Chains A and B, each alone.
Chain A
Amino acid sequence: MRALFWHDLRALLPWGALCLVACALAMGYAATSMELFKMAPNQAPLTDRTMLLATMLGGVLSGIPLGLIQLVPELAPGRWALLIHRPLSPNRIFWSKVAAGLLLYSAAVGLPFAAVVWWSATRVPVPFDGRLALGGLVNLLGGIPCYFAALLVALRPSARWLGSRALPLATALLGTSCVAGSEELWQALVVLGVVIVLLAVSAWASFLSGIRPPSPPDFSGRRWLLRPGTARPALALCLLLGLYGLGVGLGNVTGDTSRLVPGRELVAILKEAGDLERLKEGSPGSFWDANRIFVPVPDYHAATGEDDVHWYYRRDAGQLVGYDRYTASIVGRIGAQGFRSLGPVRPFEGTLRYLNRGWLVLDTAAYRLDLKQRTVRKVADAKTLGPVRMATANRFYNVAAESELLLATNDAIVVVNEEGKRRVSLPLSLPGGCAGVAVTRAQNPAHSFPSWGDYLAVVWPCAWQGTMTLSRYSADGRSIGQKAEPFTHAHEWGLNHGVIAGLAPSFVFAGWLLTGTELPPRDLPRTWGSALFVLLGLWSVAGGAICLWLTRRYAFLPGPRLLWTVLCLVVGLPGILVLLASHEGSARLPCHRCGRPWSVTLDSCPHCGARPQAALGDGPKILAAS
Chain B
Amino acid sequence: MRPCLVECMEQASGTGAEAAIRTRGLTRYFRTKPAVLDMGFRVERGTVCSILGRNGSGKTTTMRLLLGLLPPTRGRCWLLGEESTRLRPETRARVGYLPEGLPLRPGVRVRQLQAHQARCWKHWNPEVYRSIVHHFDIDPGSKTNQLSRGQRAGLCLALALAPEPELLILDEPTLGLDQVAHRAVLEALVHFAQQRGNTVFIATHQLHDAERISDQLIIMDGGTVRASCSPETLLCRVRAYNLIFDTAPPPRGPLKIRGLLELSRSDRSLRLVLADPDADALTRIRDLGASAVRESELGLQEAVTAFMARTRQSEAAPADTSAPLWR
Contact = CB atoms under 8 A, between A and B. Distances in A.
A615 interface: yes
Nearest to A623: B228
Contacts of A622: 226-229, 233-234, 237-238, 275-276
A85 B95 contact: yes
A608 interface: no
A85 B97 contact: yes
Given A213-B85, A614-B38, A86 B237 contact: no
B258 interface: yes
Contacts of A587: 29, 31-33, 73
A305 interface: no
Interface stretch (A74-82, A237-245, A479-487, A553-561): A74-82
Contact of A79 (B68, B103, B225, B260): B103
A82 B261 CA distance: 38
A2 interface: yes
Interface in B198-229: 215-216, 221-229
Interface string B11-25: 000010000000000
B44 interface: yes
A86 B233 contact: no
B134 interface: no
B149 interface: no
Given A77-B64, A620-B276, A626-B215, A85 B32 contact: no
Contacts of A614: 38
Interface in B53-103: 60, 64, 67-74, 85-86, 88-90, 92-93, 95, 97, 99-103
B93 A78 contact: no
Contacts of B223: 615
Interface in A611-626: 612, 614-616, 618-626
A7 interface: yes
A388 B216 CA distance: 95
Interface string B234-273: 1001100000000000000000001111000000000000
Q: Which of A84, A214, A586 has the most CB of B within 10 A?
A: A84
Nearest to A1: B120
Contact of A615 (B41, B95, B224): B224
A81 B222 CA distance: 23
Interface stretch (B186-194, B291-299, B307-315): B307-315
B119 interface: yes
A425 B99 CA distance: 89
Nearest to B318: A619
Given A11-B105, A86-B120, A87-B122, A619 B312 contact: yes
B125 to A, nearest CB: 14
Nearest to A73: B105
B67 to A, nearest CB: 6
A600 B74 contact: yes
Nearest to B34: A600
Interface in A281-340: none
Contacts of B32: 587-589, 600
Contacts of B233: 622, 624, 626
B86 A212 contact: yes
Given A619-B226, A626-B230, A88 B120 contact: yes
A77 B312 contact: no
A78 B225 contact: no
Interface in A68-124: 73, 76-82, 84-89
Given A87-B122, A89-B89, A616 B312 contact: yes
Nearest to B277: A620
A621 B34 CA distance: 19
Contacts of B86: 212
A488 interface: no
A446 interface: no
B234 A81 contact: no
A80 B88 CA distance: 18
A621 B42 CA distance: 16
B139 to A, nearest CB: 20
A616 B38 CA distance: 9
A310 B272 CA distance: 101
A81 B64 contact: yes
Contact of A84 (B69, B88, B221): B69
Interface of B: 15, 27, 29, 31-34, 37-39, 41-44, 47, 49, 60, 64, 67-74, 85-86, 88-90, 92-93, 95, 97, 99-103, 105, 108, 112, 116, 119-122, 215-216, 221-230, 233-234, 237-238, 258-261, 274-276, 310, 312-315
By Cβ-Cβ distance, the 7 closest A-B pairs, closest first, are A78-B103, A3-B119, A78-B99, A213-B71, A87-B93, A620-B275, A624-B229
Given A82-B103, A85-B92, A212-B86, 9 more contacts: A6-B116, A78-B99, A86-B92, A88-B89, A600-B32, A616-B312, A619-B315, A620-B258, A622-B227
